[in-house]
A = this chain, B = another copy of it.
Amino acid sequence: MSENRVEQVELLRSDNDSYGGVVVKIEQPIDSKLFPSLLRASISQWRQQGKKGVWIKLPIEHANLVEATVREGFRYHHAEPDYLMLVCWLPETADTFPLNASHRVGVGSFVMNNKGEVLVVQEISGKFKGTGVWKFPTGVVNEGEDICTAAIREVKEETGIDTEFVEVLAFRQSHKSFFSKSDLLFICMLKPRNFDIEKQNLEIEAAQWMPIKDYAAQPFIQKQELFNYVAKICLTKSETNYTGFSPLATTTGSGKISYLYFNNQDAKHLVTSDNQP
């Protein structure tokens, strides 16, 4: 501290980020009447320091500070159940804040036994409720979950069948599925390890092994273009050679594992026993 600093102004605690900005995490309660002056003094210091983007992470228990933060020129960036992230770009230039997550990711699983029967379910709720349509087990990929793990988990949860991941046969991107968000649905092929179905009762009305031709012949599947194409891809896979994308484990610079999915029949030389899931 400099000795000739006569006035000691209280400031918000912040950490520098790697993009010339600062991140503030509010962890202790602050009176919403005191907060505006604290925030204003901090902004003024960040401006003097030439900071660019300011991020304020407000846990939901500090919802009392949202209004004041917005009044000081912040906008929402994203929110999760337990916090709201607000941002403010200090320079005159256009902001370069990264975009919010834009897609939800789902999996649909094609599981066939060696009698040419496919594992199908009827759901208790949702848009297929009461239609009598038999469909592949499907589900949403959890936060931080790999596509190949999610497909196995959903099949197990809905039908009790253990499986091994084979490949992604196809994927579909659709828009405006949920507010302004988009959807990516990965159709995965899995190999069953057991055959006795133990259906889950909460979401699943019925589950069975069904001849793949009967599955594909259902009027609903015939009529809906996407379902029809997917059924034809699965039929092609079951009858002839069809190669999808298989996962290969790669390690990033920071030591994290991430899967690369590609046609490993056409690029066999890339695959070793070490990098299979």
Contact = CB atoms under 8 A, between A and B. Distances in A.
A100 B75 contact: no
A60 B70 contact: yes
Contacts of A104: 98-103
A24 interface: no
Interface in A74-105: 75-85, 98-105
B250 A225 contact: yes
Nearest to A103: B103
A128 to B, nearest CB: 12
Q: Which of A76, A147, A270 has the most CB of B within 10 A?
A: A76
A182 B143 contact: yes
B141 A102 contact: yes
A48 B243 CA distance: 55
Chain A binding surface, main DSSP class: mixed
A4 B252 CA distance: 71
Interface stretch (A9-17, A113-121, A259-267): A259-267
Contact of A260 (B63, B230, B251, B266): B230
B172 A233 contact: no
A226 B260 contact: yes
Interface of A: 32, 60, 63-64, 66-67, 70-71, 75-85, 98-105, 140-144, 146-147, 169-176, 178-182, 184, 224-226, 229-230, 232-233, 236, 240-245, 248, 250-253, 256, 258-263, 266-267, 269-270
